[in-house]
Amino acid sequence: MSKKRKWDDDYVRYWFTCTTEVDGTQRPQCVLCNSIFSNADLRPSKLSDHFNRQHGGVGGHDLNSLKHTPAPSDQSETLKAFGVASHEDALLQASYQFAYLCAKEKNPHTIAEKLVKPCALEIAQIVLGPDAQKKLQQVPLSDDVIHSRIDEMSQDILQQVLEDIQASPLKVGIQLAETTDMGDCSQLMAFVRYIKEREIIEEFLFCEPLQLTMKGKDVFNLFRDFFLKHKIAFDVCGSVCTDGASSMLGANSEFVACVKKEAPHIVITHCLLNPHELVTKTLPTKLREALFTVVRVINFIKGRAPNHRLFQAFFEEIGIEYSVLLFHTEMRWLSRGQILTHIFEMYEEINQFLHHQSSNLVDGFENKEFKVHLAYLADLFKHLNELSASMQRTGMNTVSAR
């Protein structure tokens, strides 16, 4: 891990000031153009190079002259009073706007510096001319800048949500979900529902990793620490809905018991979808065998490249467009609804293909009892999919979802 550089007051000679991140990292900011650089650029050679290249005509390289020079933000406020936005404000706004879109589309931060900005510069030069290209060149879109912009916007949104929670006329409700991602990192996500100006607002609250274990006490400590860190009393919370994980359902030492001990007034509920998910993992024997038959058919078709190519060619030959099969994923139980629906809709065509390939799966697939079970499973999981989708709509609750 590279060593972090520290600010020196002597750097004001190059018309720079110091900005400090949430984690304590110091970064130089030019007071003439508002550009913010990375901690690695916190060295005289880098600062001097920027000053000479970008602001070579400015005189008075000392602290006294710096103090008497109006800050760009002061100048911009004066212009705003007359309804005019300064050039620096436009550059800053463009930088924030791109960072917002980058985060919204879940793109890597480097896409701005490596792809978007070079393309925009080329387009500006061809369509608008070199003057527009020079203006666009000044928009700060480096990896560090985009990362900083996203962090700042995230902190601002969180602060607004926290203020709304404390100003809510009624107690708020919190939904907790504990999950483990592909990197074996266990995370606790929280969503909050509160009243603002007579409207029900639903917002994402936080997502924090569970460092070591996933016990109910660890989940509770993480949940409580967030409230303590942001100086929010448990009194504002009226209910907590969990995802039904075992670490949250303990009667004595787990999450529910810890919450009841700390704040007895909080009502504990459990996610409506959790019992449905458990049911799908304990299907009756005949339905489970029907599902396994579907999985074996899919693996026969898509697990072997020659069969998959022949399957696509077979559908083209009989004049049917729809020839896409989805792989079954045990971890994502909602995917079963789409898989079973696809198989049922293409039942006759798939049966013909299995006959054509002389597959040993034909006998089980064309069994009448299997087809009845397939239709039942397709309807069952389609209903669960619709229930899950309906619960994701804004303003949904247990009564309306049922």
pTM of the model: 0.61
Answer yes or no: do 197 and 137 share one domain: no
Domain assignment of residue 100, yes or no: yes
Among the residues of 263-356, which ranges form H helices?
273-280, 285-302, 305-317, 335-345, 347-356
Question: Do both 322 and 262 map to the same domain?
Answer: no
Q: Which residue has the tokens 């909602």?
A: 334
Query: Do both 100 and 202 map to the same domain?
Result: no
What's the pLDDT score for residue 244? 60
In a domain, 109, yes or no: yes
Answer yes or no: do 283 and 331 share one domain: yes
What pLDDT score does 82 carry? 37
Same-domain pairing of 39 and 108: no
pLDDT given at position 142: 85
Helix (H) or strand (E) segment spanning residue 188: strand 186-196
pLDDT in tens, 276-290: 565 666 778 888 888
Low-confidence residues of the chain: pLDDT under 70:
1-2, 22-23, 56-87, 244-253, 272-281, 318-335, 395-402
Question: Which pLDDT score, from 0 to 100, does residue 280 have?
Answer: 61
Any domain includes 102? yes
Residue 373 included in any domain? yes
Whether 24 and 121 map to the same domain: the answer is no
The C-alpha atoms of residue 75 and residue 72 are separated, in whole angstroms, by 5
pLDDT of residue 164: 92
Domain count along the chain: 4
Residue 346 lies in a domain: yes
Identify the domain boundary among 218, 250, 271.
271
The reply to whether 351 falls in a domain is yes
Tell me, yes or no, whether 71 lies in a domain: no
Domain boundary among 230, 254, 271: 271
Q: Tell me the per-residue pLDDT of 8-17, one tens digit each, with 9 for 90 and over.
A: 888 888 888 8
Quote the CA–CA distance of 136 and 242 in Å, as a whole number.
48
pLDDT digits (tens, 9 = 90+) for 128-141: 888 888 888 888 88
In whole angstroms, what is the distance from residue 347 CA to residue 378 CA?
Answer: 12
Give pLDDT, residue 363. Answer: 84
Q: Indicate if 229 and 253 belong to the same structural domain.
A: yes
pLDDT at 335: 62
Cβ atoms within 10 A of the Cβ of 354, count? 20
Residue 252's domain spans which residues? 170-271
The answer to whether residues 181 and 218 belong to one domain is yes
Q: How far is it, in rounded angstroms, from Cα 18 to Cα 7?
A: 7
Looking at the fold, whether 286 and 267 belong to one and the same domain comes out as no
Same domain, 144 and 192: no
